[in-house]
A and B are shown apart, each in its own frame.
Chain A
Amino acid sequence: MARVVVDVMPKPEILDPQGKAVHGALPRLGFTGVTEVRQGKRFELEFEGEITDEVLAQVEKLAETFLANTVIENFRVRVEEAVR
């Protein structure tokens, strides 16, 4: 079993109202010193067997066409051993 993780984040120049809302709540919880919060998404894709270059290429395509909107978001694909 192996896992491919796709991290999707709003591009740095794109306003992130959700991150701002989280950041705004931090002082009320007693957290100080955080200068910015940005909120993204993490996708965990589970596979049977080896993660080949071919599989990674497929995940890249999937991320680019579906999981992320590259007009407003960046993404990163990486392999992670599944924790059982």
Chain B
Amino acid sequence: MKVGVVTFPGTLDDVDAQRAAKIAGHEAIALWHGDHDLRGVDAIILPGGFSYGDYLRAGAISRFSPVMAEIIEAAGKGMPVLGICNGFQVLCESHLLPGALIRNDHRKFVCRDQRLRIENNQTAWTSAYDAGQEVTIVLKNGEGGFIADEDTLDRLEGEGRVVARYLEVNPNGSMRDIAGITNERGNVVGLMPHPEHSVEALTGSGTDGLGFFTSLSRIAETVFA
């Protein structure tokens, strides 16, 4: 599949995300925040970093970039979109996902190999995992605390839309240990940990993150076949 990776001013992990897509067997296409063009991609990754310097709020200015208008429309039609860290913040600001991400409750930047449980393996980005599978994926954030009102949290849980949950340590104060969520359709996923950094044994804590990128191939077989 052609996987588009968006670069905003201040994005950090676009090249790693492109590399992860390639390792998973996809063609990576660089997309620029200022373009009104998705270049024929089949899926989109919004990578981590500090787009627009996190000015105003993390993801708030990126949400109104030209490329996001195209992505919001494509996501509405079912295109798989994965937002990682700052990308998750952009998805929440875009209202493609509910809730918001605020500064870590302990006020310090956190960087660790994080244990997670994959709660929902029915999304476009998690079908390569078993439901309930426990994995270790790199986590690094300053504003990773997922919050939403109780009704929204109950709805997310009730509809199985919590994609991943923190195990052992809640690293940022996220409500109900939520590390990632999906939309009703399961094509849009926001994730605070960084699976693109956990795809090669040489440079990471392992290869547990690769499943997020290989999951797309399964979608391709079933949906685009």
Contact = CB atoms under 8 A, between A and B. Distances in A.
Interface of A: 14-15, 17-18, 20-21, 66-67, 69, 71-72
Given A15-B102, A21-B107, A69 B93 contact: yes
B103 interface: yes
B111 to A, nearest CB: 18
- Residue of A15, A17, A18, A67 with most chain B CB atoms under a 10 A cut-off: A17
Contact of B102 (A14, A66, A67): A14
B57 interface: yes
Interface residues of B, number: 19
B148 A71 contact: yes
Contacts of B173: 15
- Residue of A15, A18, A67 with most chain B CB atoms under a 10 A cut-off: A15
A47 B72 CA distance: 32
Contacts of A72: 100, 102, 147
12 contacts: A14-B102, A14-B147, A15-B105, A15-B147, A15-B173, A17-B102, A17-B107, A18-B103, A69-B57, A71-B99, A71-B100, A72-B102
A20 B102 CA distance: 14
Contacts of A21: 107
A67 B93 CA distance: 11
Given A15-B105, A21-B107, A69 B64 contact: no
Given A17-B102, A67-B56, 14 more contacts: A14-B147, A15-B102, A15-B145, A15-B147, A17-B103, A17-B107, A66-B56, A66-B60, A69-B60, A69-B100, A71-B92, A71-B99, A71-B100, A71-B148
Contacts of B102: 14-15, 17, 72
Nearest to A20: B107
